[in-house]
Amino acid sequence: MTRFREHGEDEIRQWADQIKNGDNRMIARAISCLESGDSRGEALLEKLYPRTGQAFLVGLTGAPGAGKSTLTDRLITHLRGEGCKVGVLAVDPTSPFTGGAILGDRVRMGRHALDSGVFIRSMGSRGNLGGLARATREAARILDAAGFEVIVIETVGVGQSEVEIMHLADTVALVLTPGSGDAVQVFKAGIMETADLFIVNKAERAGAARLVRDIEEMLSLAKGEGEWIPPIIRTEGKTGRGTDELWGGLQKHRRFLREKGQWEERRRTHLQREVQTIIEETMRAHLLQEMNSPSFRKDLDRMQIRQESPRRVARKWLNRLLGGGEEGGGT
Ligand SMILES: Nc1nc2c(ncn2[C@@H]2O[C@H](COP(=O)(O)OP(=O)(O)OP(=O)(O)O)[C@@H](O)[C@H]2O)c(=O)[nH]1
Ligand SMILES: [Mg+2]
């Protein structure tokens, strides 16, 4: 944080202007900074933050190979037809690749590569999920500031990772496929509740109708009066069939949230969660550092010979972490 000053204000301002003008190369550089922890990323975000909050953030999740990228590609084409700028962040928590495109996505969405109204980026984790979620959220903000109106965040899998990533989306769509046993998995993992839309992709396959019925059944158990009832949308990524309905469903959900006052509420919840996460991660890092100190090892010794209790030691270190000073062992 103290390195802020090293990069001139001018450099950051200029860079921010280039991003606001939609310069995709500078956007890419900014995201790289955020991924690597380069302090210019944080400085840029400070500058750009007032400009953000405009984009519609769509989370697209589902099992590997469900067709998320194919559908995203269809959605891009559809939205470009309406003159809408689209950003895509393909997040793969299991992949160590960052900075470029994961090969498959380059193939799947590559035809938009020369369109400056489209920005596609793959983001992988270098082992730390929290870091990936943060970088993704911040990358979305860069795109938002650059005037991308719809930002699709594609993430793979079923588990903690995409639940975390989904906490940054306004609308979450879950992609399921016939015959994969997905629906049951999803139900068990409690992911049902986080989905605002269900997409049954590969709908040309036998078993699609059955999958729709299964989802309907689960939904009827789960949802209460007056709440948003997630639509089930059949798509065929391969042919593009259902893309209109998919975009229609996303828009409808956005309208619903706005009309019910849930749009701002959801975003406030996300902001609170974001701050909480930053504080928790920072505190944890400090704590682990403190626990490596000779002073903490002395406390360990004292606890072991029963001179001090764990609670008392914990309180002492908590006070220190919270800036309560060196109260010693007397509290
Ligand atoms: N039969 C059929 N195949 C489809 C359909 N949509 C996509 N696929 C194929 O399914 C495969 C996986 O599609 P992707 O779009 O890469 O799936 P993904 O969910 O992005 O996969 P990961 O990013 O690896 O998790 C590709 O070979 C697609 O061509 C569809 O509607 N029907
Ligand atoms: Mg994909």
Kindly tell me if the per-residue pLDDT of 97 is higher than 90.
no
Average pLDDT over residues 179-197: 75
Measured in degrees and rounded to the nearest 5, phi and psi for residue 151 equal: -125, 120
Q: What is each CA distance from 86 to 38, 58, 216, in whole angstroms? A: 26, 11, 31
DSSP state string for 121-156: EEEE-SS-HHHHHHHHHHHHHHHHHTT-SEEEEEEE
CA distance 1 to 40: 10
Write down the mean pLDDT value for the chain: 87
| Main-chain phi, psi angles of 89, to 5 degrees | -115, 110
Q: Which of 261, 260, 242, 238 is nearest to 250 (CA)?
A: 242
CATH topology of domain 51-260: Rossmann fold (3.40.50)
Q: Is the pLDDT of residue 158 over 60?
A: no
Contact 208, 178 (CB under 8 A): yes
Answer yes or no: are the C-beta atoms of 296 and 290 closer than 8 Å.
yes
Ligand number with the minimum distance to the CA of 156? 1
- In this predicted structure, which of 5-9, 142-146, 197-201, 312-316 has the lowest mean pLDDT? 5-9
Instruction: Quote the pLDDT of residue 161.
Output: 60
- What pLDDT does residue 188 have? 64
Nearest CA to ligand 1 atom 6: 237
3-state secondary structure of 306: coil
How is the chain split into domains, by residue range?
51-260
Distance CA 144, CA 148 (A): 5
User: Rounded to the nearest whole angstrom, what is the distance from the C-alpha of residue 246 to the centroid of ligand 2?
Assistant: 17
Q: Please, which pLDDT band fits residue 1 given cuts at 50, 70 and 90?
A: very low
- CA 106–ligand 2 middle distance (angstroms): 10
Residues with CB under 6 A from ligand 1: 62, 64-70, 104, 108, 156, 201-202, 204, 236-238
